[in-house]
Amino acid sequence: MAKINIVGVGPGSPDYVTPAAKKIVKKSEVVIGAQRCLNLFPNDIKGETRVLTAKNLNSSLKFAVESAKKGKKVTLLSTGDPGFSGLLHTVLESGLVKAEEINVVPGVSSIQACAAKLGISWGTATLFSFHEGNVTAEEKNQLLLRVKNGETAIILPDLRAFPPFEIAGFLLKAGVHKEMPVFVCENITLDDEKITSSSLEQVSKQTFGALCVMVIRNQISK
C-alpha cells in the first residue's frame, strides 16, 4: 500500500499554501478535499478529484485507502494544519490506516495566523478546539481554569457545537469578569478578513461566521 498524504492547505488564502503542499498535489493521482481546499490548487491538480463533505467523510476515507492499496498516489487536503483540529486525527481514529502509512505535510493553522495578526506569542497560550465531538465538560472546565489563571486561550469554536457567544456565556456564568478582553478573527487571511476587539460580555451577545478564531487574551501576552 502506498502512503496516503495528508496535506495542510493553510487558513484559506492561496498565499499561505506552501510549496511543499503544491509539490505533493501535482504528483498525486487522487486528490480528496473540501471544495474550498480544492479551489486553492487551480493549476496543480492533475489527477482525479473527489469533493469531501461531512456526509461522505467515511466513504471518502475508504476510497482513499482502496486507491492507495492499488498503488495510487493519494492526497487528502486538510484545512489549516492536519495536526490541529484537522484530518490527521479523523484518519487515525477511523482505524483504516496506521500512522506509518501516512505522510503528513504541515500547513499554517488559522490559530497561527490569528495569533500573528494580534501579535501574540502563541507558544505561551493554551489551545482549544471545540468542534463537534470535542465539547466535553472536562474541556470546558479546562478552559475556565486556564482563563481564571490569567492565561491566554486561543479557541477554534464550532457554530453548531459551541459558538463564541456560548463560550462567553459559559465563562460569564462561571464568574469570569465581563470586561475580559476578547478578540475574534473571522475569515483570517481572506479578502473579507475581520478582527473584532471586544469584551466577554459583548461577545456573549454577538454572532460570528463559521471561519473564526476566538482569543481570550491575558494582558501579559501583549
Pairing of the two strands 74-78 and 30-33: parallel
Mean pLDDT for 19-24 is: 97
- pLDDT tens sequence across 156-212: 999 989 999 999 999 999 999 999 999 999 999 999 999 999 999 999 999 999 999
Report the predicted TM-score, pTM, of the whole model to 2 decimal places: 0.91
- pLDDT tens sequence across 91-132: 999 999 999 999 999 999 999 999 999 999 888 899 999 986
Cβ atoms of 119 and 197 within 8 Å: the answer is no
Pick the closest to residue 75 from 35, 39, 36, 21 (CA basis): 21
What's residue 222's pLDDT? 39
The strand ranges marked E within 175-221 are 181-186, 194-199, 212-216
What's residue 221's pLDDT? 39
Cβ atoms of 201 and 173 within 8 Å: the answer is no
**CA dist., res. 88 & res. 99, Å (int):** 9
Which residues share a beta bridge with 80? Answer: 10
**CA dist., res. 197 & res. 219, Å (int):** 13
